[in-house]
Chains A and B, each alone.
Chain A
Amino acid sequence: MTKNRIFWAVAAPVAAILNSLLFIYIILKIRGVDPLSMFSLMISYGFDPRNLVSELNQTIAYYLAGVAAAIGFKMLLFNIGIDGQYRMGAFFGAVVGGAVALPPVLHVLLIVITAMIAGGLWAAIAGYLKVRRGVNEVISNIMLNFIAAAVISYLLLPSMLGTLPEGSQTAQTFPIPASGQMPTIKAFDGEIYSFLFVAIFVGIAYWVMLNKTVFGFNLKATGLSFRAARASGVNAPRMIFVTTVLSGAIAGLVGIGTLLSDTHKYSMAFPAGYAFTGLALALLGRNHPVGIFFAAFLWSFLERSAPVLEFEGVPPEIVIVMQGTIVLSIVIAYEVVARINLRQQQRAVGSVSAEAQPIKESN
């Protein structure tokens, strides 16, 4: 039973990736380049130690975005507001980190907690609107993403919370002093953000919360059936709100690895687009902390190794096509697997049960 379950859990993403590779294979073939040599080029470039390090660092951010999305998915929430929540977290983390002087560990802790609170509060707006006003969270979150970007660029003005260093064109926050920086791990001529450990901890905490705690049980129950959860004693609307905030708090951490180990300040150069990536990764990783990790690494790997194709005349955008087909294939693959699973179980139930479906009463 367990072996069988693991097989099916892995089968779907593997099938989706193979399907995507086949699609890319055909595209490359049409373009007249040898697909296999392209693939091997990407692999050898992507697994080059120096590139591995930067892929790993990117994986941290993607992973956190994926976990944030997965928490929402468990509640049937489509948290497309990860972008805004991540910006709010990174920005306020940077502002607070640059404004205080504290002992080393405390300083970092303060930044991390500030980022989670900022991301969580930003998500709370969408959560409140959903629970109390019935506003669909997709719509409010998309708007909140724009509002977050606008609010932050306003707050970055030198007259507000930001600064414009001499010779620089972009407004940024005041730099975080050394006590508020996180060390890096030297490896393969590169530096891995030690925030990696925070990401691993978040993954473990997410798994434990979901599978071991009453809170996680209530969260899953509310996602599976609002009415059944309510009848079982869960305050379901409150649960939806709390889950939204939690998802936002994790999203608030997305940019913190870069902030604490690399840039030490927030500027408009922080990338956008974590919401879509996070949702895609949660989907690909099936909301499982280990699955999301592999998905996040795959994404970073593809993005890092794509530019090498340019030397061979293949536009690196091919990677976006690849990511897109993976996501499309995975949705279909999971649906197929879910149906096979249910049919298998029903057959198993049928074999022990002489009794079949009773009449449905509708009169």
Chain B
Amino acid sequence: MDNVLDVVGIEKKYPGVIANRDVALTVKAGSIHAIIGENGAGKSTLMKILYGLIRPDAGHIKAFGKDVELKSPQDAIALGIGMVHQHFKLADNATVLENVILGSEPTRMGFIINFDQARKKLVEIAEHYGLEIDPDESLSNLGVGERQRVEIAKVLFRGAKILILDEPTAVLVPQEVEELFSNLRELVKRGLTVLFISHKLDEVLSIADEITIMRQGATVASRTPKSTNKVELAELMVGGELPKPRAGATKSTGESLISIKNASYMRQDGRQVLNNLSLELKGGEILGLAGVEGNGQSELIELIMGLVKPSGGTVEILGLDATKTLTKDIRNAGVAYIPQDRQRDGLLMSAPLWENRVLGHQFASPMANNAWVNKGEAIEDSKRVVSEFDVRTPGINVLASALSGGNQQKFIVGRELSGSPKVILAAQPTRGVDVGAQAIIWDHLMKARSEGAGILLISADLDELFSLSDRIAVIYSGSIVATLDPNKTTPEQLGLAMTGAKSA
């Protein structure tokens, strides 16, 4: 079998962060090639490089045996490389056919769209590859799985020979996953090649012909499903290294700060995102929450913050009933919140830094004197946060949007740790920050713990979870499926629990 893609030595650096290094990838024609890795392992960066969205700093890409330089997605499409994004890029109020041809319409006389020709071509493609789609159906009538098929048809319509699918199963329910897989098998039978990103080990083992594992920006191993198993893949994904020694021993105060019993929550779209979840956080401990993104972590935080009401169960925080208490009163009781989506939930992007210092603290002293904002104090304390957390900014009057993401994060962490909070909800507290800032943030979290605060740490970085947590709870499908002792657990066992496997 020929290789359709040969990638050697790809490197992509952003100042302070290495997104890709030493990436080598060989993809055989007519195969389903899976790329697996943790969040932030560099999978998406690599795919974007292959699709021409990002240009690498170094390395060679050979497509269909020829050296190529991909300057834009147009280059990639011309070569026969197409990408199906995780979030579909489709117009709801148009038909399937219109969506498929959008941007590459066959025309008559150069400006009249030739719908007949387009329909004929689409029907041919659908029949050839066994894709069930109706060209005249309105997109708004289609479910997620069908929309994904339209996206695939769109890529095929443009003549793709290599399909890149970015976490295609993340949005699908199990039956739809089966359908997708049978479609993909059909595609490779007809000679196409599929490149498939995932972090679900079961799926990868069932569909892929070859598996490449990425960790910390590099490709670390290649396996075939026959030559490996889930345990080994999990180990390769999270790295076999032992977690770093923890600084300071746990001094749990025994006081229960958060107590959640059998909490359930159903989203407006009818999806049950939390399922009889129970969890307890005590003073003086860091409780790590491990889990693949989208298993109910965000909703759990919103529940604790009193932002959403559970459909069942009890949520108690610092003696308050979170289901009946206003968010501002929960905050005032001494709850700090470092949100995962810092730009949307943690900052007023077009407000100056000092106003952002007030955000979340505007209901209590020292940022407010009753009904009045204490601007002087806000300015002084912003300066303290900037210097203590090494926020790189010329001053505290600049807009939050002018800062880089890492510096925004440092500012948020500094703000939330002000005023000795009793409970700290930290969602991805070090995501996107450089190594130095990561150490600062970790130090502060551990200091808060030694002073008796309870910290709920949600992190996709298993190293971080192992080195900081006193206990690690694993969330899967909206429930806590295991609570592990980081000293007696291997990263492999944790990785398995996170992907829903029963035991290692």
Residues of A within 8 A of B (CB): 1, 212-218, 220-221, 224-225, 227-235, 342, 345-346, 348-349, 351-363
Contact = CB atoms under 8 A, between A and B. Distances in A.
Nearest to A343: B402
Given A214-B363, A345-B402, A363-B41, A233 B328 contact: yes
Contact of A342 (B14, B16, B345, B402): B402
Given A1-B395, A354-B392, A363-B41, 8 more contacts: A212-B375, A221-B348, A221-B362, A231-B327, A232-B331, A233-B328, A235-B327, A363-B47
B41 A213 contact: no
A224 B372 contact: no
A57 to B, nearest CB: 34
A363 to B, nearest CB: 3
B406 A231 contact: no
B151 interface: no
A353 B15 CA distance: 11
8 contacts: A213-B373, A217-B358, A224-B348, A224-B351, A232-B331, A234-B327, A354-B15, A358-B404
A359 B359 contact: no
Given A353-B392, A354-B15, A358-B17, A231 B363 contact: no
Nearest to B302: A231
A346 B345 contact: no
A345 B399 contact: yes
A45 to B, nearest CB: 42
B307 interface: yes
A357 B347 CA distance: 17
Interface in B465-483: none
Contact of A220 (B39, B337, B351, B398): B351
Contacts of B47: 363
B334 to A, nearest CB: 13
A354 B436 CA distance: 13
A355 B346 contact: no
Interface centre among B332, B344, B375, B398 (most CB of A within 10 A): B398
A224 B393 CA distance: 21
Given A358-B432, A361-B431, A231 B346 contact: yes
B392 A358 contact: no
A356 B16 contact: yes
Interface in B28-57: 37, 39-41, 43-45, 47
Contacts of B339: 231
B397 A1 contact: yes
Contacts of A351: 394
Contacts of B330: 233
A226 to B, nearest CB: 9
Contacts of B146: none
A345 B351 CA distance: 12
Contacts of A349: 392-394, 398, 402-404, 407
A139 B395 CA distance: 42
Given A228-B346, A356-B14, A348 B398 contact: yes
A212 B431 contact: no
A218 B395 contact: no
- The interface centre, meaning the residue of A221, A232, A353 with most chain B CB atoms within 10 A of its CB, is A232
B220 to A, nearest CB: 16
